[in-house]
Amino acid sequence: MATRHRKRTRGITPAPLLLALAFLCFGAWVLLRSRPSDVQAPGWVEQQFLTENPWSRPGDKLKEVRGVVIHYVGNPGTSAQANRNYFESLSTGEEDTYASAHFVVGLEGEVIQCIPLTEIAYASNSRNDDTVAVEVCHPDETGQFSDVTYGQVVELTAWLCETYHLKPNEDVIRHYDVTGKICPKYYVDHEDAWTQFLSDVEARLIEGFEKED
């Protein structure tokens, strides 16, 4: 009787294929993780987008989000609506001023979004093209945020960190950290208050966010 030799079918070694696949997946992940598109703002954000114009909403694409920049409006007692309207008023060009922000957080904790997260705002100079700008209203000249405003800035910043996979300690910065401008004033004058803000954002981030439908 002849012994039957079963031929072993040797599959091609999958290692290079797997490696290529892993590489592709990693590439896609890197590309997608900081993509500003398809982001749905939380329910407490009121969207009042500015008219597209060269002075406050140039319509340039925000290609990736690598940070959040915090500002103060520098005009005590003004509301989020007033500041949003100010940005809109710049569109005539009469003021000869370029300025805007993605979000304005008001004295009562209201949040108005002026610019879609797919576009740049004119707020943070050299970091306009890779950051989200948050302007914050304040009751007086010190620039300190009221408790309710502060809480909402923490909430918004933590949500942005969650959405764009940012680290509060590294990626959340002040306008001051970009240009040396004393903005947001109170949190430049009081380094400890800024450190506290970052740890409050971190703590909120750790709590996590419910997925909104």
The residues binding Zn ion (CB under 5 A) are 71, 175, 183
Residue 103: CB minimum distance to Zn ion, A: 13
Residue 136 structure tokens: 């914050």
Nearest to 101 by CA among 120, 85, 82: 120
Nearest approach, Cβ of residue 70 and Zn ion (Å): 8
CA distance 59 to 122: 11
Minimum CB distance to Zn ion, residue 61 (Å)? 22
Q: Which of residues 35 and 76 has its CB atom nearest to Zn ion in the complex?
A: 76
How far apart CA 130 and CA 89 sit, in angstroms, is 25
Q: Identify which of residues 74 and 139 has a Cβ nearer to Zn ion in the complex.
A: 74
Report in angstroms how near the CB of residue 189 gets to Zn ion at its nearest: 14
> Which residues, 6 or more positions from 146, have their beta carbon under 8 angstroms from its beta carbon?
107, 138, 139
Is the Cβ of residue 11 or residue 180 nearer to Zn ion in the bound state?
A: 180
CB nearer to Zn ion: pick between 136 and 205: 136
Instruction: Tell me the C-alpha distance between 15 and 96, whole Å.
Output: 60
